[in-house]
Structure 1
């Protein structure tokens, strides 16, 4: 009888110790998880995107051809505005490259550049202008993120300022023509919007300023009031 009693006591003691150990491990795990949780987290501080570029307000008979495109990349300082940290202000710095293929030919002369629509009788391989910019996005950010979730909806919108630090025009036919065009506006600005979930995000940019300086005209006297519309995708990372 005593032997059975000892066995019961020992079994009860081992069972109690096991429960206590499990509770202690669970408590320690919870503490570690809470310690790892970053209540001061920030989101989407690196971006990279690709766009299809459309020229708006083109002069008569000016058409785009080939694939006018752009790439952009940069970093953003994410500054949450509320305790939940799902509303924030973003200010960043980045680089953008844009190329436009079209049938508007540029001429370089002593009095400046001239412009004309390439006649159908002219056989050419390529006619394009590309630009390199330093950009500064300033945006209002809304998202459904939490400290534990990396998949969430986002809507980021604001203004993007740009400075064209280099450009090049290139015309390729029997001979090649290439030069830097001083008529291209150095300062650019536009409204931009990013909307998406997790990895995939739609991106749009609408230029508020002209791509060329205000007094630039074609050989027929039409003003070059073209601006840019960019549509594409953008990816974000921490």
Structure 2
């Protein structure tokens, strides 16, 4: 390009034009690296800005196998008892790497318990007994629906670009009993009790989840009894929930 321009210029003007062109090209060559550096800086600033806003706000859904802890003598689980939990957690990072966070949330839990604690009523007052002969009934369970307020401490190996990572979550869950139903089925028919006053309305427990990617092992241990004053043969029922399963986190 420089040679073409030079050939079109008279000889007497050659020196001034050549000097001007050389100065212009040197200016362009000098500016290109500067523009490149500015673009790199803007990319770094943009990347830092995105990273500074990174959080793991997540919906979750879990399935559990439900057991009891601290059960009365003679207690047994009759059948497989399943539970379902779901909700949302608000991630709030607490360090500069944003891999540690506190996450409060809101959710629902529905638990079934198939066991041999028979619940009946007499004049509207619940009474309890251990059912020792499974052949005399086909179904004995109670179900509970809770409104949950969990809060957890989170560690994860993620970045704003990578959402498949190891995580460990642990925390405390406070639950309020919204509805419960006990059902006993035998040859004589069905006995159903709704909103048993002997169930504790407030439940609280510890939980933990750990895994890689979306699916994680989950365990919840109740810290207080499911029952308030319920007794079997004069002995209080101090059964506490123990829920083991899988929880799936969804961005």
Report if TM-score (shorter chain) is over 0.5. yes
Aligned to 1:63: 76
Check if 1:45 corresponds to 2:51: no
Equivalent runs, 1:1-238 vs 2, <5 Å: 31=43, 34=47, 37-110=50-123, 112-120=125-133, 122-174=135-187, 175-180=189-194, 181-213=196-228, 215-218=229-232, 220-238=233-251
1:11-38 residue CA offsets vs partner (Å, 9 max, x unmatched)? xxxxxxxxx9xx97xx69x949849944
SS in structure 1 at match of 2:132 = coil
Aligned to 2:21: none
Q: In the alignment, is the contact (CA less than 8 A) between 1:37 and 1:148 conserved in 2?
A: no
1:155-193 residue CA offsets vs partner (Å, 9 max, x unmatched)? 111100000010000011120111121111100000000
Once the two structures are TM-superposed, the CA of residue 151 in structure 1 deviates from its matched residue by: 1.1
CA distance in 1, matches of 2:140, 2:244: 22
Q: TM-score, normalised by structure 2?
A: 0.79
Once the two structures are TM-superposed, the CA of residue 99 in structure 1 deviates from its matched residue by: 0.4
Q: In the alignment, is the contact (CA less than 8 A) between 1:44 and 1:236 conserved in 2?
A: no
Once the two structures are TM-superposed, the CA of residue 62 in structure 1 deviates from its matched residue by: 1.4
Q: In the alignment, is the contact (CA less than 8 A) between 1:43 and 1:237 conserved in 2?
A: no
SS in structure 2 at match of 1:125 = strand
SS in structure 1 at match of 2:207 = strand
Once the two structures are TM-superposed, the CA of residue 96 in structure 1 deviates from its matched residue by: 0.4
Once the two structures are TM-superposed, the CA of residue 119 in structure 1 deviates from its matched residue by: 3.5
Larger mean Cα displacement after TM superposition, 184-193 or 106-115: 106-115
Once the two structures are TM-superposed, the CA of residue 134 in structure 1 deviates from its matched residue by: 0.1
Once the two structures are TM-superposed, the CA of residue 65 in structure 1 deviates from its matched residue by: 1.5
Where structure 1 has 5 or more consecutive residues not aligned to the other structure, the ranges are 7-19
Where structure 2 has 5 or more consecutive residues not aligned to the other structure, the ranges are 5-31
SS in structure 2 at match of 1:94 = strand
